[in-house]
Amino acid sequence: MDYAKNILETIGNTPLVKINKLTEDLPCLVLAKYETFNPGNSVKDRMALTMIEDAEADGRLKPGGTIIEGTSGNTGMGLALAAIVKGYKCIFVMADKQSKEKTDILRAVGAEVIVCPTDVDPTDPRSYYSVSKRLGEEIPNSWYVNQYDNLSNTKAHYQSTGPEIWNQTEGKITHFVVGVGTGGTISGVGRYLKEQNPDVKVWGIDTYGSVFKKYHETGIFDEKEIYPYVTEGIGEDILPKNVDFDIIDGFTKVTDKDAAVYTQLLAKKEGMFLGNSAGAAIKGLLQLKEQFTKDDVVVVLFHDHGSRYVGKMFNDEWMKKMGYID
């Protein structure tokens, strides 16, 4: 019989799928690493499991312990699934700009969810960074995951996502394009691919309101770059340890409107019902058109599933209210 011993064994080995209509004007082959096939419907299952296993191995996480994390939802889902199988409790701290579906989903898998204001400085005691850190210090037998600076995040992608993409493209990949939040995906996959072939180009997708692009280009952490934005999952107002700027060749920024519109277009033109950062990633890839030539094999990674955005990017009333469609 062929079966997984538990749900965690189904993480990874996701398909690579050709994008056809949206990339018609590009000279190259564009393939999507389709991470919604993971059991928690996002790429984050991979790093959640690796972070837990590494914390178990060195004693940071002990039997019956409580896992605490600031999460926009997907990491929480991955942690919650692993916690159920392995017998831990979960408390998640989220920013109030995140979609309601994400909070509901985390509560559905048994986690306690605390919602914090989005528009406060990361160092403010009310911010979700500060609250999650404080709970980690106060709650006995707890472990604060810290996906931003926890390097097991990058390691997960170096060990699984990177090798999968390399093998699925038979080493023919020339460009890797991906949204950047904690930086785990781009750094882990990018490092693996460049070790196999230093000519592979690695492009990060950033948002307006985030510090990454400017920092990468100038080395300056410019607070003027920071302002609230709508796009979910990518961009930051901090520099996480998981972003390895040296392996990234460049960033392109995508507007909130374009990210939302292209999230709809992926569903309507490709049958790919995906999250908001997938819209940003495909639009960013199209912005990079001049980079690509006919023999190139470009892989874009799509992080999460559309079901988490039915109240927003897939709701035309919301899209009109935001001024994204007429």
By CB under 6 A, name the one of 181, 279, 284, 306 that touches ligand PMP.
181
Name the token pair of 164.
């999968």
Nearest distance in Å: CB 176, ligand PMP: 13
Among 41, 98, 103, 182, binds ligand PMP (CB under 6 A): 182
Residue 62 known to be catalytic: no
Render 31-75 in DSSP notation, one character per residue.
EEEEGGGSTTSBTHHHHHHHHHHHHHHTTSS-TT-EEEEE-SSHH
Closer to ligand PMP by CB, 171 or 311: give it.
311
State the nearest-atom distance from the C-beta of 49 to ligand PMP, in Å. 14
Q: Which residues 276-305 are close enough to bind ligand PMP by CB under 6 A? A: 277, 303-304
Nearer to ligand PMP, 65 or 72 (CB): 72
Nearer to ligand PMP, 65 or 156 (CB): 156
Facing residues of 93 across strands? 70, 114
At residue 3's C-alpha, the angle toward residues 87 and 35, to 5°, is: 75
- Selected binder of ligand PMP within 68, 156, 234, 297 (CB under 6 A): 234
Query: Which has the closest alpha carbon to 199: 302, 296, 300?
Result: 296
Residue 183 binding ligand PMP, by CB under 6 A: yes
Interacting residues with ligand PMP between 65 and 124 (CB under 6 A): 72, 74
- Specify whether the CB–CB gap between 194 and 249 falls below 8 A: no
In terms of CB distance, is 23 or 277 closer to ligand PMP?
A: 277
DSSP 147: T
Give least dist CB 63 to ligand PMP, A.
28
Q: Is 45 in the site for ligand PMP (CB under 6 A)?
A: no
210 three-state secondary structure = coil
Amino acid letter, residue 256: D
Contact flag: residue 14 with ligand PMP (CB under 6 A): no
CA–CA separation, 173 and 192 (whole Å)? 12
**Alpha carbon separation from 323 to 34, 60, 317, 326 (Å, rounded):** 29, 47, 10, 7
Q: Which of 136, 162, 275, 279 binds ligand PMP (CB under 6 A)?
A: 275
Q: How far apart are CA 73 and CA 92, in angstroms?
A: 9
3-state secondary structure of 4: coil
Report residue 7: phi and psi, to 5°. Answer: -65, -25
Stretch that binds ligand PMP, among 107-115, 179-187, 223-231, 257-265 (CB under 6 A): 179-187
Interatomic CA distance for residues 121 and 259, integer angstroms: 25
Considering only residues 143 to 162 of the shown chain, the ones binding ligand PMP according to CB under 6 A are none
Of 65 and 233, which has the nearer Cβ to ligand PMP? Answer: 233
- Closer CB to ligand PMP, residue 186 or residue 254? 186
How far is the C-alpha of 305 from the C-alpha of 275, rounded, in Å?
5
Binding range to ligand PMP, per CB under 6 A, among 167-175, 191-199, 211-219, 229-237:
229-237
Reading the block at residue 314, the tokens are: 């897939």
∠92-319-251 over CA atoms, to 5°?
65
Q: Which of 33, 44, 194, 213 is catalytic?
A: 44
First to last CA, the chain: 54
Nearer to ligand PMP, 65 or 161 (CB): 161
Footprint of ligand PMP on residues 185-204 (CB under 6 A)? 185-186
Q: How many residues bind ligand PMP (CB under 6 A)?
A: 17
Exactly one of 77, 79, 95, 180 binds ligand PMP (CB under 6 A); that residue is 180
Which residues form the catalytic set? 44
Where do contacts with ligand PMP occur on this chain (CB under 6 A)? 72, 74, 179-186, 232-234, 275, 277, 303-304
